[in-house]
Structure 1
Amino acid sequence: MKASTWYIGGRLLQAIPLVFWVIVVNFVMIHLAPGDPVSFLAGEYEATPEYMEAMRTEFGLDKPLITQLGVYLFKVVQGDLGYSMRMKQPVLELILSRVPATFLLMGTAMFFSTLFGVLLGATYSRRSSLAENATTFLAIAGYSMPAFWLGQMLLIVFSLHLGWFPSQGMMSMRVRETGVWAVIDTLHHLVLPALTWATYHVTIVFRLTRSKMLETLSQDFIITARGKGLDRRAILYRHALPNALLPVVTVLGVNVGFMLAGSVLVETVFAWPGMGRLMFEAISARDYPVLLGLFLVISVMVVLANLVTDIVYALIDPRVTYR
């Protein structure tokens, strides 16, 4: 069996106890947090104590916490994440219906932010130039802006005042087709939330690429390339950039977790129907099964993203071996 197969299998086995403890910790923290899902569902003044007690029995909330945890773990092993208390739907089905929207938004933001971050970092890799100082200032400004504030500013300027882009949702109510016009309408809705999400990520990629490029350009093989008479463009993009991309690949894997966590803010601001908005709705309603299901799915996604990052890292860097 190939070393890569052993490595991937070993990493997946290592992820099992990690995901297990994520489930346990999240379960305990959510159930010990203030708030009662039964009170939210029954209404503050309308339900009788007997009815609320019957609802607690229905959802299993009347049992000891350790018993609830054991029942939940047994169901998770069987692939059953429970039912949403608020929507009365299977949690897994509910989450999977929101995954495409989040992946579309996150994938678009990550693709363009990585592309422009790498290109800008490689292009403006000179010290003390005016363009370099300007891009560095903009990168620091973009890094410092909270996503929810930037999203609201983009909505106010480009949606409310200029009317260039829609203010919420993934598709207009009037669009019922599934062809080209539906795709165009979705892309139209995608611009502002993707720009909000990409602004923070592009600053990280830019600063990391530029820092690594400056380090690489001072190495001996670059000096040798200059001595051979190669032009600056060939030195930058053919020799220096491939070496500077290695830390960027690592950051991409780490940023998957940060972007999934940040999806709560971005998707709520733009009413984007993804996992982040579902999490906000579940938190507001104290919908325990949905919250636990989301945390579990996100944890698995982060583990897989880190595994893919390690594999890609080994492919682009021959010095890295599977052990």
Structure 2
Amino acid sequence: MSILKRFLVLLVRSMPTVFVVVTLGFFLMKLAPGDIADYIAASSGAATVESTNALRDSFGLNLPVLEQLFAYYRTLAHFSLGTSMRFDMPVTELIASRLPATLLLVATSIVMALAIGIVAGTVMALNAGRTKDRILSGLTLVFYSIPSFWVGLMLIIVFSVQLGWFPTGGSQTIGSRASGFHFVIERARYLFLPALSLALYYVAIYARLTRSTVIEMRRQDYVRTAVAKGLNHWQVTLRHVLRNALIPVTTMAGIHIAGILGGAVVIETVFSWPGMGRLTYEAINARDYVLLLGILLVSALVVIAANILVDLLHRFLDPRIEARS
């Protein structure tokens, strides 16, 4: 089975999950107090009960809850996410303008967390019980204990305010005409601190998991056989130990994608990163359930697609998974 075909099959199988996510999200939002009409009335400062009820009628908020849900299903059936009540724009356009920045931040954070965590965990495992292991274990415990937003604020103070190495926020210089390699470097300078702030918490998890898995794998019979055949230390570690140790680490990374997306909302606010975080905050503040459901649906699809990619990565790391499926 080709990779693309397998990806499409898994994506189709996940559609019931998306249906459940949208339905539960809709009812949870309806349980929250207030609606978009209350927000508009509070913003105008001169609204009356009659005008507020008129707004609810125009938005269909006075309809029974099930009718509102079925109306949203009909909108989705036409491959549309509806129109935002707050911005009076198609939800698809709003999300499309913010999603690439969030995906860039999340993908960079995952790559950084995995790279740093796997390297640190491997060093800890190869030096178990020694000074390097104790120092790295202490550092990972510190990263695990500190909230991401506080780490972000400290990074801004140290590397932006004091040292001036990185910008304090935003995604690019206003009016910049950089292109090519210079454009990539400029974007990387704006991206580094928010991505690192989001990644450090997960670095601790992946480092500890890699450490325990590598220690376990080094005790396996096939590792002893590889050593007996005369392979050097690094060949055994990279080709036999670390490759098998990556499976539980990447599995955990797939589970954490939803949490990283949620953490991106806070980090984007701290660093003024123009992603979906600010859009989500504005939608919650305005009680714009159409926009919120659109963000929830797209986020669920991103998480599902990422977990499918993790599944395909496992098949590459261990061909036996393909044989068993």
Say whether the fold is shared (TM-score over 0.5).
yes
Tell me the CA shift for residue 211 of structure 1.
0.9
Aligned to 1:311: 312
Corresponding position: 1:49 with 2:49: yes
AA aligned opposite 1:276: G
Whole-Å separation in 2 of the counterparts to 1:101 and 1:5: 25
The 1:295/1:209 distance shift into structure 2, 3 A limit, reads same
Whole-Å separation in 2 of the counterparts to 1:122 and 1:34: 49
Aligned 1:57-206 pairs, distance under 5 A: 57-125=57-125, 126-206=127-207
AA aligned opposite 2:16: P
Aligned to 2:247: 246
The 1:318/1:166 distance shift into structure 2, 3 A limit, reads same
SS of the equivalent of 2:321 reads coil
Aligned to 2:233: 232
The 1:8/1:175 distance shift into structure 2, 3 A limit, reads closer
Whole-Å separation in 2 of the counterparts to 1:194 and 1:186: 12
Aligned 1:282-297 pairs, distance under 5 A: 282-297=283-298
AA aligned opposite 1:95: I
Corresponding position: 1:207 with 2:215: no
Identity of aligned residues (%): 41
Cα pair 1:105 1:190 within 8 Å, conserved: yes
Tell me the CA shift for residue 130 of structure 1.
0.4
The 1:109/1:36 distance shift into structure 2, 3 A limit, reads same
Tell me the CA shift for residue 66 of structure 1.
0.9
The 1:6/1:179 distance shift into structure 2, 3 A limit, reads closer
AA aligned opposite 2:95: I
Compute the RMSD of aligned alpha carbons: 2.1
AA aligned opposite 1:295: L
Whole-Å separation in 2 of the counterparts to 1:319 and 1:303: 23
The 1:163/1:274 distance shift into structure 2, 3 A limit, reads same
Larger deviation, residues 104-113 vs 134-143: 104-113
Aligned residues: 322
SS of the equivalent of 1:41 reads helix
TM-score by length of structure 1 reads 0.92
Cα pair 1:124 1:210 within 8 Å, conserved: yes
Whole-Å separation in 2 of the counterparts to 1:4 and 1:142: 36
Whole-Å separation in 2 of the counterparts to 1:14 and 1:168: 40
Whole-Å separation in 1 of the counterparts to 2:308 and 2:282: 30
Aligned to 1:25: 24
Tell me the CA shift for residue 216 of structure 1.
0.7
Larger deviation, residues 44-53 vs 296-305: 44-53
Tell me the CA shift for residue 144 of structure 1.
1.4
The 1:101/1:8 distance shift into structure 2, 3 A limit, reads closer
AA aligned opposite 1:101: A
AA aligned opposite 1:67: E
Deviations 1:57-88 (A, max 9, x none): 22111211111111001101111111112222
The 1:56/1:254 distance shift into structure 2, 3 A limit, reads same
Cα pair 1:268 1:276 within 8 Å, conserved: yes
Tell me the CA shift for residue 112 of structure 1.
2.2
SS of the equivalent of 1:112 reads helix
Tell me the CA shift for residue 123 of structure 1.
2.5
Whole-Å separation in 1 of the counterparts to 2:221 and 2:80: 57
AA aligned opposite 2:186: D
AA aligned opposite 1:118: I
Cα pair 1:263 1:277 within 8 Å, conserved: no
SS of the equivalent of 1:97 reads helix
Whole-Å separation in 2 of the counterparts to 1:287 and 1:185: 35
Corresponding position: 1:301 with 2:302: yes
Larger deviation, residues 270-279 vs 228-237: 228-237
AA aligned opposite 1:49: V
Aligned to 1:261: 262
| Runs of 5+ unmatched residues, structure 2 | none
Whole-Å separation in 2 of the counterparts to 1:101 and 1:293: 17
The 1:180/1:57 distance shift into structure 2, 3 A limit, reads farther
Cα pair 1:109 1:194 within 8 Å, conserved: yes
Whole-Å separation in 1 of the counterparts to 2:74 and 2:49: 30
AA aligned opposite 1:265: V
SS of the equivalent of 2:320 reads coil
Corresponding position: 1:217 with 2:194: no
Whole-Å separation in 2 of the counterparts to 1:130 and 1:120: 13
Tell me the CA shift for residue 229 of structure 1.
4.3
Cα pair 1:122 1:237 within 8 Å, conserved: no
